[in-house]
Amino acid sequence: MKTTLQKPQLRQLLRLALVFLCMLSFNSNLFGQTKSDTLLIKETVFNYLEGLHDNDAVRVEKAMHPELAKRLITKDNKGNYKLDIMGWSHLLFNIKTVDFKTMYKAGVNPEEPYRVEVIFYDISNDIATVKGIQNKFAFFDYIHLGKINGEWKIINILWAWN
């Protein structure tokens, strides 16, 4: 049995196709990252996390915006919460003075290669949200980045202990 589209059905199909194409073109900005952006964001996060691991202030500084806010939600022994905030200069001071290998998870083999993974949540209009995880430290980071003067920089980090 052969079916043919009638003119009203054909018009409706064309209308739907046009709406779909319009939606696709308008939403292209929402998915506007390029492969280059993805690689540069990964490089920025790797500079931060590998820089911590290796106490390499130059790599960490390259990844950070000077107005960085690195935040941790803590709770005291009475159950009171507070927000600890570390800025760019405090983080760089820590990298120069703290051995971050002392923050390894319990039971981590120090000889095991250090691995970093970047999980992408969103990239649009020159801002990005990612999660930075690695196999050795006892913490993880949710990271906001911005593309400023063509470079991806970490602007905010909300982190927590594993």
15 belongs to a structural domain: no
3 belongs to a structural domain: no
90 belongs to a structural domain: yes
101 belongs to a structural domain: yes
Per-residue pLDDT at 100: 86
60-79 burial by CB neighbour count: b if 16+ within 10 A, else e? bbebbbeebbbeeeeeeeee
Rounded Cα distance between 58 and 48, Å, is 10
Residue 17 in this model has a pLDDT that exceeds 80: no
Residue 136 in this model has a pLDDT that exceeds 90: yes
6 belongs to a structural domain: no
28 belongs to a structural domain: no
**H helices present in 28-73, as ranges:** 35-53, 57-63
14 belongs to a structural domain: no
Rounded Cα distance between 89 and 9, Å, is 65
Residue 132 in this model has a pLDDT that exceeds 80: yes
Per-residue pLDDT at 52: 94
pLDDT (tens digit per residue) in 45-92: 999 999 999 999 999 999 999 999 999 999 999 999 999 999 999 999
Per-residue pLDDT at 34: 80
Residue pair 37/122 in contact by the 8 Å Cβ criterion = no
- At 93, the amino acid letter reads F
Residue 131 in this model has a pLDDT that exceeds 50: yes
pLDDT (tens digit per residue) in 20-55: 554 444 444 445 568 899 999 999 999 999 999 999
Question: What H or E segment, with its residue span, contains residue 65?
Answer: strand 64-75
Number of C-beta neighbours around residue 40 at 10 A: 18
Per-residue pLDDT at 22: 45
* Between residues 123 and 9, the one the model is more confident about: 123
Q: How many domains does the chain have?
A: 1
- 80's tokens: 């009171």
Residue 116 in this model has a pLDDT that exceeds 70: yes
Work out the average pLDDT over 106-120: 94
Rounded Cα distance between 41 and 19, Å, is 33
Rounded Cα distance between 52 and 15, Å, is 55
- Residue 109's domain is classified under what CATH number? 3.10.450.50
Which structural domain, as residue segments, surrounds residue 73?
Answer: 35-161
For the entire predicted model, the pTM comes to: 0.78
Question: What H or E segment, with its residue span, contains residue 7?
Answer: helix 7-27
- 119's tokens: 């999980």
118 belongs to a structural domain: yes
